[in-house]
Every structure is written in structure tokens, then in C-alpha cells.
């Protein structure tokens, strides 16, 4: 599903030393895997997610998504891949304000060539248990409910991969647990999920844990992650 | 389908930010109102000028009897008595491109009827006078060839005379005393009102030129000759041909040819410069509306960076974002344009009914500001839309 070889990414700002964010990252993710990425702030987790999610390009290295090399595809093609193959979930939910849950979930379908977008959005909302909240705006929903709307939005175009950047970071423990349960459920029904977290307990619920430290990705934490959250 | 959905997104975005939308819509509306009113005033002024020219006689040249060159030089001149009916006949016969020629002997005489009296201009002329001066006969008939040949004492009276001397009674068939000569009234002219050059033709009576020369004024010459040419383009060449012809006949230049259209054009120049000033103001208002739209759009793009980043992450292409923001600008301009047109139309109606300015609601005053508003939306909306489409999704998502 995902195959990365020697992915490097660095940032240069005038007057500052070059910052190597990713140092030759290798990564294989098989379909149906449930993977957690942990690591301290600034270790390069988000940059890796952005590259996996086709929002950013690596400086060097190869990235094959579903067997297709994607490092040098034109912008329009990348947008189309993001739309069809990847669902994003963000820490801040990123829902459109003063817009109903249904319309928020419809958003990815605006850019997809499909019909019945309302029906499909409604189905996605049912899938996350919000069938009674379709006409509510974000302001009328709890944090957990807002994140569920965002997950429904990530699911609505039936992507193969869901990328979640600290999906429970803005939620209380109970809501966070609910969201994790939902991810687990989605994974059991066959979806590939990669999520970033600071919480070792949450990471432990994933089938596979990767540690990011100063731009180097390693399998399984060398020591239990603690004191970072 | 995608484009239609993007249109819906744009509409929702505008509805979401009501105050912002209202502000840019009203900025646009004010500019469009100004332009619509200006165009209305312009159209009204053109129409008024056109009407005046029609009333005074279209493509009309006036040959006035003037002073002989020697008298004019001495500065003690009397108007000459050399302009005669034979001149007018020669003009009609010899010059090309002439529609109608009417000789006129004109003066002021006292009119009396039914114990009332008033002073009036008495014009002795031929049937062509009606054509050259574009008069409409409201009742009865105009003088004809037989009246002229026979030197008949018949008169056609102007509107003001009917009102002031006859007090609205039907004058046709009545006998009117012109000085001490009785005339039978055969027709009434429709009123024209005062023209912008200060002339009033409603206080005249028209009688056959022969009768006027023999009975009223006891002279054998004319005051002026009206010459109507076939088209506006012939005014200049005909003026020259007329000058040549009459100089040959009189062996001197003792006449003055006046082109009324040219006089009116000079007059309307003043109005034109005034309208140019309003034009500048309207342009300024519209420009301000455009700049308002620009700044509100830029602010909107800045405020909605996260939203744009999200849209890009969810699979929107740059051009989808570009189109959405352009459509938002266009919708604002469209709504502002329609509002401005309505307010402009009200302004035009008010201007024409409450002030002396001739304003007119023309088709130009509708479509031109409308197209202008769309052009402004595209011009001032393009940059913010381009900025939005160019955003880096990562930076956009991270901001906040």
C-alpha cells in the first residue's frame, strides 16, 4: 500500500542552519494495517504525515502509493489522489463554521465526480453514529462529535488510507477513547489507518507502533513513551 | 457538476460572512448607482438636445439679412433691404441637396380680437415654412400656395395667442385684426415652448408672404430665408454654396448665415464638461467600490486560509479554489450591480422629476454599469482568488 525508500526532507531559512526534518526514512505499510506514530514534538511526525498524505513532496527518496510512484506527479493528479485514496483527520477538526454536519461531510465529494452527494454524506454520518446530528453546526456539537463529523468527512469518498494527525489531541479522555474505538472499528472493516499520537496508552491499541526521533523512524519504541504528552 | 457544487460553496461562504458580504455589496452598489445616474443624465441631455433640434427645424440654415459691408465697417449700419423672394426662389432652384426653402418677412404687430389686444410676431412666409421649422398644425390648416399667390388675408396662429388672446376659445374662422388689417384665422399651431437659445415661437402668427409684404409691412424685401438641407453632412458645403450664390446675386456680402445646430452644440458643451465632472466622480465611486471589493476579498482569503488548506487536502485543485473565490467576487458584484441599478433608476426618476436636469432611463444606463461591475469584479477579484489558489496547503492548515 505504502512504500517509502530513503525519504529526506529539510527546511532552510535564511540566517538559520539547515534543518533536516526527515533523515532517510524507510517505511512499508501493508493494506489493513493499524499503525501509530509516536515521538516528541518537532521530531518530524507531521512532516512524514504530510508527505504520506501528498500535501508535501520529499526532497529525495521514492514514495510508491499503491504501487504508483507519486513523488513527481503534477499538482492536479496529487489533488485527485488525495481526494480518492486518502482521508485526513486533524487535531483541530477543521470543520467549516456555521455549516451543517451534512454539508461539511459533503465537501470532499464536491471535488469528486459523483452523484448523490447528500445520500453518501448521510451514510458516512450514520457510520460514525451521528445520524441525529446531520443539520447541526459545529458550534452545536461537542468536541468528540465534531471529530466524528471530521472522520465521516474522511470516510465519505471511501478512501483506502486514513491519516490522522493527533486525532484525540483536543479531546478529553472519554471522547478520545470513543474516537479510538471508532478507528479500531474502521480498521477491522479493512481500512488502513495511520495516526500520530502523544499518548502511549492510545498507541498501544494500534497493531504497530513506529517511533520518530529527530527525523529517524524506528520500529517499536526503544522504551515506553512517557513524559512527552 | 463539480462547478455547480463550487458555485453552491461560494454562495454558502457569502451567506456565512454576512457582514463582510453586505459591506462589499454596498460598496459596489454605490459605485454602480453613480454610474447609472450619470448615464441617465447623459442620455437625458442628448435626448433634450435632439428634441430641441427637431423642434427648431432639422438641418436648418438661416440666411439673415444683415448690413452691407461698407455700412458694417462704418459701424452705423442699417439692415439691408436687398434680400428678396427671388433670392429664395434661386436657392431652391439652383442649389443641390435642399429639402425646403421658406422666405420670411418678420416684424412685431399689435393683434386685436374681442376687445383684447397683444403684441405678436407676424411672419409672412410660404407653405414650406411649416416644413423648415417643423411646425405641427393642431387644428384647421396651414397656409397654401393659393393663399400666397392670391395674397389672401389668412393667418395661422401660435399656441400662446390662442391662450392669451382667445382665452382658449376656438379661434378658427374668427377675424383677427393685425394692426388695422383684418385676417381670417384658418389654423392653429401646436405649442413648442421656449428653446434653449431663448427663442419663443408660440407668440407668432403666420400669414402669406405676399400679404405680409403688401398689407402689413408695405415692403418688398425679406428678413430671412430658412433653408433645410437633406442631411447634417451637407450643412457645411451648403453654407458655402449659399454664400457664393447670394454674393453673386447681391455683389456683396450683406447677409449672415447661421447654423443653429452648431450654436446648440456649443451650448451643450457646457453641459458636457459638467457631465465629465460627474463622470469622474462616478468613476471614482466605482473605483472605490472595486478597491473595497479587493480589500474585503483579500481579508477573506487571509481569514479563511485554514479552510482553503482543508479544501486542498480534501482534493480541491488550485483552479477549484480560484474559481470559487472569483465566483464569490462576481456574485458580490452582481448583487451590488442589481442593487445599484435599482437605486440608479430611482435616482434618475427623482432627478428628472425633482430637478430641471433632463434625465432619462436608457438601455445603456442599464447594461453598461452591469457589464462594468462584472469587469471590476473580475479585475479586482482575480488577485485575491489567485492568492487563494496559490496557498500551500501545509502552511494554510498550520496557520491559526
* pLDDT for A229: 38
* pLDDT for B359: 73
Q: What is the pLDDT of residues B326-381, one digit of tens each?
A: 999 999 999 999 999 899 888 888 877 877 667 777 777 778 888 888 898 888 99
This model's pTM is above 0.90: no
**Average pLDDT of chain B?**
88
Q: Establish if B394 touches chain A: CB-CB under 8 angstroms.
A: yes
Q: What is the pLDDT of residues A24-37, one digit of tens each?
A: 999 999 999 999 99
Is the same domain home to B272 and B246? Answer: no
Question: Does A18 score more than 90 pLDDT?
Answer: no
Q: In A, which residues are within 8 Å of B317 by CB distance? A: 75-76, 79-80, 111
Residues of A with CB under 8 A from a CB of B: 50, 53, 55-56, 75-76, 79-80, 82-84, 88, 90, 92, 94, 96-99, 103, 107-113, 115, 117, 153, 157
Pick left, alpha or beta for residue B141 (phi over 0 → left; psi -120 to 50 → alpha; otherwise beta): beta
Q: Among B235, B233, B241, B123, which residue's Cα sits nearest to residue B189?
A: B123
Is the same domain home to B362 and B304? Answer: yes
Question: Does A123 score more than 80 pLDDT?
Answer: yes
How are the residues of chain A apportioned to helix, strand and coil, as percentages rounded to the nearest 5? Answer: 35, 25, 40
- Report yes or no on B318 lying in a domain: yes
**Average pLDDT of chain A?**
91
* pLDDT for B119: 94
* Final residue of a structural domain among B224, B253, B282: B253
Question: Does B202 score more than 50 pLDDT?
Answer: yes
Residues in chain B: 400
* Alpha carbon distance B224, B124 (integer Å): 11
* Alpha carbon distance B358, B48 (integer Å): 7
* pLDDT for B82: 86
Measure Cα distances from A53 to A161, A164, A183, B4, B176 in Å: 9, 10, 18, 27, 103
**Smallest CA–CA separation between B334 and chain A, in Å?**
24
Q: Quick one: closest CA in A to B318, which residue?
A: A76
- Report yes or no on B273 lying in a domain: yes
Is the same domain home to B119 and B205? Answer: yes
| A79, A96, A99 ranked by CB distance to B315: nearest | A79
Distance between first and last Cα of chain B: 32
| B6, B307, B312 ranked by CB distance to A110: nearest | B6
Mean pLDDT within B85-107 = 93
Q: What is the pLDDT of residues B32-90, one digit of tens each?
A: 888 888 888 777 777 777 777 777 788 899 999 887 666 666 655 567 788 999 999 99
Percentage with pLDDT > 70 across chain A? 96
* pLDDT for B74: 61
B248: Cβ–Cβ under 8 A, 6 or more apart, which residues?
Answer: none
* Final residue of a structural domain among B195, B229, B253: B253
Q: How many domains does chain B have?
A: 2
The torsion angle over the Cα atoms of residues A195, A196, A197 and A201, rounded to 10 degrees, is: 40
- Report yes or no on B262 lying in a domain: no
Distance of alpha carbon B314 from the chain centroid:
59
Q: What is the pLDDT of residues A155-196, one digit of tens each?
A: 999 999 999 999 999 999 899 999 999 999 999 999 999 999
* Final residue of a structural domain among B194, B228, B253: B253
Mean pLDDT within A58-62 = 93
Q: Establish if B12 touches chain A: CB-CB under 8 angstroms.
A: yes
> What cell was used for A106?
459533503
ipTM of the complex: 0.92
* Alpha carbon distance A190, B373 (integer Å): 53
Is the same domain home to B22 and B125? Answer: no
* Alpha carbon distance B370, B360 (integer Å): 17
Residues in chain A: 229
> What cell was used for A113?
465526480
- Report yes or no on B60 lying in a domain: no
Is the same domain home to B200 and B247? Answer: yes
Adjacent-strand bridge partners of B109: B120
Q: Among A215, A218, A217, which residue's Cα sits nearest to residue A59?
A: A215
Q: What is the pLDDT of residues B126-178, one digit of tens each?
A: 999 999 999 999 999 999 999 999 999 999 999 999 999 999 889 999 999 99
* pLDDT for A226: 47
* Alpha carbon distance A118, A156 (integer Å): 10
Q: What is the pLDDT of residues A92-109, one digit of tens each?
A: 999 999 999 999 999 999
8 Å CB contact of B313 and A88: yes
* Alpha carbon distance B289, B211 (integer Å): 68
Q: In A, which residues are within 8 Å of B310 by CB distance? A: 90, 94, 96, 107
Adjacent-strand bridge partners of B103: B225
CATH no., domain A34-59+73-209:
3.40.50.300
- Report yes or no on B160 lying in a domain: yes
Q: Among B278, B296, B276, B280, which residue's Cα sits nearest to residue B27?
A: B296
Is the same domain home to B279 and B157? Answer: no
Phi, psi of A160 (to 5 degrees): -80, -30
* pLDDT for A228: 43
8 Å CB contact of A82 and B5: no
By CB neighbour count within 10 A (0-12 exposed, 13-18 middle, 19+ buried), where does B219 fall? middle
For residue B103, the enclosing domain spans 67-253
Is the same domain home to B312 and B365? Answer: yes
Measure Cα distances from B50 to A173, A187, B62, B190, B268 in Å: 83, 82, 19, 18, 11
Amino acid at each position: 500500500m505504502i512504500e517509502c525508500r530513503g525519504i529526506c526532507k529539510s527546511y532552510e531559512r535564511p540566517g538559520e542552519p539547515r534543518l533536516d526534518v526527515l533523515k532517510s526514512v524507510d517505511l512499508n505499510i501493508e493494506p489493513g494495517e493499524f499503525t501509530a506514530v509516536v515521538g516528541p514534538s518537532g521530531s518530524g511526525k507531521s512532516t512524514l504525515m504530510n508527505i504520506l498524505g501528498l500535501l508535501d513532496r520529499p526532497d529525495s527518496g521514492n514514495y510508491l502509493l499503491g504501487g504508483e510512484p507519486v513523488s513527481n506527479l503534477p499538482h492536479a493528479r496529487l489533488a485527485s489522489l488525495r481526494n480518492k485514496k486518502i482521508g485526513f483527520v486533524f487535531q483541530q477538526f477543521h470543520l467549516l463554521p456555521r455549516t451543517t454536519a451534512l454539508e461539511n461531510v459533503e465537501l470532499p465529494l464536491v471535488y469528486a465526480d459523483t452523484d448523490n452527494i447528500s445520500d453518501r454524506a448521510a451514510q458516512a454520518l450514520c457510520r460514525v453514529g451521528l445520524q441525529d446530528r446531520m443539520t447541526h453546526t459545529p458550534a452545536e456539537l461537542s468536541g468528540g462529535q465534531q471529530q466524528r463529523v471530521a472522520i465521516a468527512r474522511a470516510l465519505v469518498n471511501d478512501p483506502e488510507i486514513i491519516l490522522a494527525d493527533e486525532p484525540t489531541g483536543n479531546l478529553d479522555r472519554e471522547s478520545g477513547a470513543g474516537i479510538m474505538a471508532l478507528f479500531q472499528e474502521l480498521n477491522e472493516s479493512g481500512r488502513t489507518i495511520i495516526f500520530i499520537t502523544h499518548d502511549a496508552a492510545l498507541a498501544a491499541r494500534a497493531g504497530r507502533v513506529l517511533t520518530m526521533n529527530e527525523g529517524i523512524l524506528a520500529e517499536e519504541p526503544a522504551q515506553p513513551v512517557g513524559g512527552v504528552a | 457538476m463539480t462547478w455547480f457544487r463550487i458555485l453552491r460553496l461560494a454562495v454558502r461562504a457569502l451567506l456565512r460572512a454576512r457582514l463582510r458580504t453586505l459591506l462589499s455589496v454596498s460598496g459596489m452598489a454605490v459605485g454602480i448607482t453613480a454610474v447609472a445616474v450619470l448615464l441617465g443624465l447623459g442620455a437625458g441631455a442628448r435626448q433634450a438636445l435632439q428634441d430641441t433640434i427637431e423642434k427648431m427645424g432639422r438641418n436648418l440654415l438661416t440666411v439673415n439679412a444683415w448690413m452691407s459691408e461698407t455700412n458694417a465697417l462704418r459701424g452705423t449700419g442699417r439692415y439691408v433691404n436687398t434680400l428678396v423672394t427671388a433670392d429664395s426662389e434661386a436657392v431652391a432652384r439652383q442649389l443641390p441637396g435642399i429639402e425646403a426653402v421658406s422666405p420670411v418677412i418678420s416684424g412685431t404687430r399689435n393683434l386685436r380680437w374681442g376687445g383684447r389686444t397683444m403684441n405678436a410676431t407676424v411672419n409672412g412666409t410660404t407653405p414650406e415654412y411649416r416644413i423648415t421649422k417643423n411646425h405641427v398644425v393642431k387644428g384647421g390648416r396651414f397656409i397654401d400656395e393659393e393663399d400666397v399667390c392670391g395674397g389672401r388675408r389668412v393667418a395661422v396662429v401660435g399656441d400662446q395667442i390662442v391662450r392669451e388672446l382667445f382665452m382658449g376659445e376656438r379661434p378658427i374662422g374668427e377675424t383677427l385684426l393685425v394692426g388695422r388689417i383684418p385676417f381670417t384665422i384658418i389654423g392653429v399651431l401646436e405649442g413648442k415652448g421656449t428653446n434653449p437659445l431663448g427663442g419663443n415661437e408660440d407668440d407668432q402668427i403666420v400669414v402669406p408672404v405676399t400679404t405680409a409684404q403688401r398689407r402689413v409691412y408695405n415692403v418688398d424685401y425679406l428678413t430671412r430665408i430658412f433653408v433645410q438641407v437633406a442631411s447634417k453632412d451637407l450643412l457645411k458645403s451648403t453654407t458655402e454654396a449659399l454664400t457664393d450664390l447670394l454674393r453673386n446675386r447681391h455683389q456683396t456680402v450683406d447677409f449672415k448665415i447661421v447654423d443653429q445646430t452648431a450654436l446648440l452644440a456649443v451650448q451643450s458643451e457646457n453641459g458636457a464638461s459638467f457631465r465629465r465632472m460627474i463622470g469622474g466622480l462616478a468613476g471614482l465611486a466605482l473605483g472605490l467600490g472595486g478597491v473595497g471589493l479587493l480589500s474585503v476579498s483579500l481579508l477573506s482569503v487571509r481569514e479563511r486560509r485554514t479552510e482553503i488548506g482543508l479544501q486542498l487536502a480534501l482534493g480541491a485543485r488550485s483552479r477549484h479554489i480560484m474559481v470559487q473565490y472569483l465566483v464569490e467576487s462576481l456574485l458580490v458584484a452582481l448583487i451590488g450591480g442589481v442593487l445599484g441599478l435599482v437605486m440608479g433608476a430611482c435616482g434618475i426618476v427623482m432627478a428628472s422629476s425633482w430637478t430641471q436636469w433632463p434625465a432619462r432611463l436608457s438601455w445603456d444606463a442599464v447594461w453598461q454599469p452591469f457589464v462594468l461591475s462584472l469587469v471590476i469584479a473580475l479585475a479586482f477579484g482575480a488577485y485575491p482568488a489567485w492568492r487563494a489558489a496559490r496557498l500551500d496547503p501545509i502552511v494554510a492548515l498550520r496557520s491559526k
